Structure 1
Amino acid sequence: MHPISQLLVEYDSTLYQLQKYHGMSQSSLSRSIITNSPIAHMRVSALEQFARAFNETPETILRKLLDYEEEAKTEKLKEVLEQCGFGIEVLEELEETGKTKISMQHDGTPALMDAINEQTEYVAELSPSTDFIIISKY
């Protein structure tokens, strides 16, 4: 779910209500959701409008949106790990240190590396020793 959609759910609101009562462009917000636009591309004026609509500071709205976006990235990585037969313990180390490694002795490791690089915003690369891959954030 796009961070804007999650924000609307949190505040029990809709795009229509934002347009009708706060003058926000429903079509522009819909396009952002449909195209999965990153929060970094959001205009400051939109953050300010969300803040007024939800009686929050722009900083609070931005933090919530960025947190939702990060959760979505982590969920996608979790999905890829599970599809390739790896457990979520990989995520725990990644969250703690910003990177993790997986031994090349696992049969599914090359496929995992390709899937991470193709389907997520994380980076998986072969270590110089070629004994394992290193997964890191961006």
Structure 2
Amino acid sequence: MHPIDQLCKEFGLTRYSLSKKSGVNDSTLANLVTRNTDVDNMKVGTVKKIAEAIGLSLDELIEKLESYKKE
């Protein structure tokens, strides 16, 4: 499972609701997952918007996404 989907699961969100809450296009989130984009290759602006939407700092979110990769 892609880290974005794992994040959504942990926070009880769908990709669509994460999109609406963060302001990141639903298609952008879908492309990240479909293309299996690595956390290190995501745009900082995208990650920052997601972090703000779920109440985490940028560092906390990156750490969380990285931890999902190890599972």
**TM-score under structure 1 normalisation?**
0.49
Instruction: Report whether the alignment pairs 1:37 with 2:37.
Output: yes
Residue 7 (structure 1) aligned with residue 7 (structure 2): yes
Superposed, 1:69-84 pairs within 5 Å as: 69-71=69-71
Unpaired segments ≥5 residues, structure 2: none
Report Cα offsets for 1:82-106 as digits up to 9, x if no partner.
xxxxxxxxxxxxxxxxxxxxxxxxx
Distance 1:3 1:22 in 2: 16
What's the secondary structure of 1:56's corresponding residue? Answer: coil
* Map of 1:59 onto structure 2: 59
**Partner SS, residue 31 of structure 1:** helix
Residue 33 of structure 1 aligns with an amino acid whose one-letter code is: V
RCO greater where, 1 or 2, for CA within 8 Å and sep 6 or more? 2
Using the aligned pairs only, state the percent identity. Answer: 32
Q: CA deviation at 1:34?
A: 1.1
Count of aligned residue pairs for this structure pair: 71
Amino acid at match of 2:24: M
Tell me which amino acid in the other structure corresponds to 2:11.
Answer: Y
Q: Which has the higher helix share?
A: 2
TM-score normalised by length of structure 2: 0.90
Q: Residue 24 of structure 2 corresponds to which residue in structure 1?
A: 24
More strand by share: 1
Q: Following superposition, which runs of at least 4 residues in structure 1 exceed 6 angstroms of deviation?
A: none
Please provide the CA RMSD for this pair. 1.1
- 8 Å CA contact retained: 2:19, 2:25: yes
Gaps of 5+ in 1: 72-138
- Deviation at residue 20 of structure 1 after TM alignment: 2.3
Q: Which has the larger radius of gyration?
A: 1
The DSSP-based 3-state class of the residue aligned with 1:28 is helix
